[in-house]
């Protein structure tokens, strides 16, 4: 428990100063929380004493006493306010910092990381985990540290008035601390189980939502619904089990404190009526007995939650300290834009799942030339493109861009030279404008519109309800496939990177769209180094170099004229393509 408190304080980093200043105000707030009670008891004591001696009480004295009482109350709230001013914003600042750090970290890990780590785990750590830290991290620390500071203030008052009463209060707090430590231990054991259940639930919900269209089209929920139901049930059962286990210790913690309060009251009466304690002090002690443990009671919730926070911090560390693929990378400006593979082997997966998909690949793509990669499905075309952008690292050999091994670059500096247009376009749930400007956020309006015009999407964008300010649904769901494709090309045109990697996606679009997309691609690829996973014969024929991939190896290379002249995979491929592209209705 104390370890987690220290860990949260360390997590505050540069905000520690604010946290400590907050603790000082918390201490004064505790001090002035006790003062009105003490003062009220003092007034009552005085009134009773005067009454007993038959003396009249001056109304000026009563007036002054009430003003002082109100002043103490005011000071208490003032220090509370100051504490909040210094501490409340810390967690929001920290979480904003950490969310950006996680975003940056995820950008810099190999894509293999996402395969090895379940998406639910990542999502849960970023959403639920960080949300827990944001909502509870600092609050729990304040409850814990502030609670004990408050207690110590009142304890000092009590001890000053009568050390025996102080001893009872310390004993009550010590016994309650034993139960708090048990709660904390119990919670430490359960927090990872709870977090795992939450991650499974997030993963199952995600899987269900992703597969909803399949679920609907087949009219049944199937395995995804079953695993979601199971995850919901598991989460409920684990939460209930934890709650039931926690209740008895919480009750014992409260019992220890309440018993100590009652003992203080009995001791105060005893000491007062046996003449060992002044009447006013007796009154003060009795009133403070209701107050002294007030700030310790909610600490059971802290002890319960601290382990959850600890677990969230573990996952945050895991995400942000994940080895970056470009940890040793440099910011490199390249002068040439050629691409080269030297003896590249590559495998997906790890351990038993490991499968080699590229075998000793060698290729050279001179700058400003067009290389078309062709080959059967699953032969390794996309993998070659992914290695150029360093989405993964080769097992052996070297992938070079502009004469440098891609491992020499930081991800950002490498990718600033590359634009990728994928078959499966992903657009963000944001305005059309922001989606186009994604690769060049400082683009002017004129540059953005020009890119959209070149990508043949300006006209349909202007027909949208809010034009460039229309918000596109998540993943670009509110647009047609062809429209999404053209917006992604506009994005690449605006980025104006010297190397373009293109996954030609004309197979599934209608002729009108195909024509527009081809026109957009021509604008995008002017004067660039182009690597295209090509399907259309027209594109392939015009390439300066065709690389035929089969089973993870380059089995043929050359121009179209050279390759059709010899029997082989390419010639077979061209024959089949010519037949299918020549196919007409009627």
Ligand X SMILES: Nc1ncnc2c1ncn2[C@@H]1O[C@H](COP(=O)(O)OP(=O)(O)OP(=O)(O)O)[C@@H](O)[C@H]1O
* Burial profile 29-55: b = 16 or more Cβ within 10 angstroms, e = fewer: bbbbbbbbbbbbbbbebbeeeeeeeee
Task: Pick the closer one to ligand X by CB: 90 or 421.
Answer: 421
Q: What is the largest CA-CA distance in the chain?
A: 126
User: What secondary structure does DSSP assign to 209-237, as a single string?
Assistant: HHTHHHHHHHT--HHHHHHHHHHHHHHHH
Task: Pick the closer one to ligand X by CB: 377 or 579.
Answer: 377
The tokens of 202 are what?
């997030």
Q: In what order do the strands lie in the sheet with 355-365?
A: 355-365, 339-348, 396-401, 404-405
Are 99 and 126 contacting, i.e. CB atoms less than 8 angstroms apart?
yes
Task: Pick the closer one to ligand X by CB: 166 or 375.
Answer: 375
Q: How far is the CB of 115 from ligand X (least distance, A)?
A: 6
Contact with ligand X (CB under 6 A) among 377, 441, 561, 579: 377
Q: Which stretch binds ligand X (CB under 6 A): 9-17, 189-197, 375-383, 577-585?
A: 375-383
Q: Does 352 sit near ligand X (CB under 6 A)? A: no
Q: How far is the CB of 372 from ligand X (least distance, A)?
A: 13
Task: Pick the closer one to ligand X by CB: 381 or 528.
Answer: 381
Task: Pick the closer one to ligand X by CB: 378 or 477.
Answer: 378
Distance CA 413, CA 330 (A): 8
Q: Does 379 sit near ligand X (CB under 6 A)? A: yes
Q: Write out the binding residues for ligand X, residues 216-275 only, by CB under 6 A.
A: none
In angstroms, the Cα distances linking 458 to 155, 431, 453 are 73, 14, 5
Task: Pick the closer one to ligand X by CB: 267 or 533.
Answer: 533
DSSP letter at 379 equals: S
Contact with ligand X (CB under 6 A) among 30, 272, 329, 380: 380
Contact with ligand X (CB under 6 A) among 184, 383, 539, 556: 383
Distance CA 314, CA 308 (A): 10
Decide: residue 541, CB within 10 A, 0-12 exposed, 13-18 middle, 19+ buried.
Answer: middle
Residue 352 CA to its chain's centroid (Å): 30
Task: Pick the closer one to ligand X by CB: 430 or 581.
Answer: 581
Decide: residue 311, CB within 10 A, 0-12 exposed, 13-18 middle, 19+ buried.
Answer: buried
Contact with ligand X (CB under 6 A) among 76, 291, 381, 495: 381
Q: Which stretch binds ligand X (CB under 6 A): 26-34, 145-153, 260-268, 376-384?
A: 376-384
Q: How far is the CB of 361 from ligand X (least distance, A)?
A: 11
In angstroms, the Cα distances linking 350 to 113, 116, 211, 318, 396 are 10, 8, 26, 19, 15
Task: Pick the closer one to ligand X by CB: 269 or 348.
Answer: 348
Q: How far is the CB of 121 from ligand X (least distance, A)?
A: 17
Site string for ligand X, 355-374 (x = CB under 6 A): --x-----------------
Task: Pick the closer one to ligand X by CB: 379 or 545.
Answer: 379
Map tokens 């305005």 to a residue. 431
Site string for ligand X, 321-350 (x = CB under 6 A): ---------------------------xx-
Q: How far is the CB of 392 from ligand X (least distance, A)?
A: 8
Report how far apart the first and last C-alpha atoms of the chain are (Å, whole number). Answer: 79
Contact with ligand X (CB under 6 A) among 171, 205, 320, 382: 382
Q: Does 119 sit near ligand X (CB under 6 A)? A: no
Which residues contribute to the site for ligand X (CB under 6 A)?
115, 348-349, 357, 375, 377-383
């Amino acid at each position: 428990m104390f370890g987690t408190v220290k860990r949260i304080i360390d997590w505050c980093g540069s905000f520690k100063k604010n946290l400590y200043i907050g603790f000082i105000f918390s201490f004064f707030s505790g001090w002035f929380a006790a003062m009105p009670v003490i003062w009220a008891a003092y007034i009552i004591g005085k009134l009773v004493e005067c009454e007993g001696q038959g003396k009249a009480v001056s109304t000026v004295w009563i007036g002054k006493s009430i003003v002082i009482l109100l002043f103490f109350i005011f000071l208490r709230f003032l220090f509370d306010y100051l504490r909040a001013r210094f501490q409340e914003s810390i967690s929001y600042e920290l979480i904003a910092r950490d969310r950006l750090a996680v975003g940056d970290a995820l950008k810099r890990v190999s894509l293999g990381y996402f395969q090895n780590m379940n998406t639910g785990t990542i999502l849960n750590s970023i959403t639920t985990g960080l949300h827990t830290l944001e909502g509870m991290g600092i609050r729990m620390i304040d409850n814990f540290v502030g609670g004990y500071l408050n207690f110590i203030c009142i304890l000092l008052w009590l001890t000053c008035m009568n050390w025996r009463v102080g001893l009872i209060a310390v004993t009550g707090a010590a016994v309650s601390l034993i139960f708090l430590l048990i709660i904390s231990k119990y919670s430490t054991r359960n927090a990872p189980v709870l977090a795992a259940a939450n991650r499974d639930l997030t993963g199952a919900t995600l899987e269900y939502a992703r597969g909803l269209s399949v679920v609907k089209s087949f009219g049944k929920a199937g395995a995804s619904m079953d695993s979601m139901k199971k995850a919901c049930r598991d989460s409920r059962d684990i939460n209930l089990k934890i709650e039931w286990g926690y209740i008895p210790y919480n009750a014992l913690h409260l019992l220890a404190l309440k018993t100590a309060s009652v003992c203080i009251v009995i001791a105060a009466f005893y000491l007062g009526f046996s003449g060992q304690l002044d009447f006013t002090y007796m009154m003060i002690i009795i009133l403070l007995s209701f107050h002294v443990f007030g700030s310790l009671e909610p600490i059971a919730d802290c002890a319960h939650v601290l382990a959850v926070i600890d677990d969230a911090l573990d996952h945050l560390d895991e995400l942000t300290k994940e080895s970056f693929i470009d940890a040793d990378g440099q910011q490199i400006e390249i002068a040439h834009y050629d691409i080269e593979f030297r003896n590249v082997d590559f495998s997906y997966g790890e351990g038993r799942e490991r499968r080699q998909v590229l075998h000793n690949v060698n290729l050279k793509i001179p700058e400003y030339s067009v290389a078309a990669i062709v080959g059967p499905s699953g032969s390794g075309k996309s993998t070659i493109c992914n290695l150029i952008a360093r989405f993964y690292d080769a097992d052996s050999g070297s992938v070079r861009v502009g004469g440098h091994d891609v491992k020499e670059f930081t991800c950002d500096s490498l990718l600033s030279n590359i634009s990728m247009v994928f078959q499966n376009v992903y657009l963000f749930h944001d305005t059309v404008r922001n989606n186009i400007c994604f690769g060049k956020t400082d683009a002017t309006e004129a540059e953005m519109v020009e890119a959209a015009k070149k990508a043949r999407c300006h006209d349909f964008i202007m027909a949208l309800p809010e034009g460039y300010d229309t918000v596109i649904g998540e993943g670009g769901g509110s647009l047609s496939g062809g429209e999404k494709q053209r917006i992604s090309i506009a994005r690449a045109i605006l980025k104006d990177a010297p190397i373009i990697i293109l996954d030609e996606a004309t197979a599934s679009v209608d002729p009108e769209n195909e024509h527009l997309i081809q026109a957009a691609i021509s604008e995008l690829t002017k004067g660039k180094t182009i690597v295209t996973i090509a399907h259309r014969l027209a594109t392939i024929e015009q390439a300066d170099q065709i690389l035929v991939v089969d089973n993870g190896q380059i089995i043929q290379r050359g121009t179209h004229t050279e390759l059709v002249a010899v029997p082989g995979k390419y010639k077979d491929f061209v024959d089949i393509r010519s037949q299918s592209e020549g196919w007409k209705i009627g």
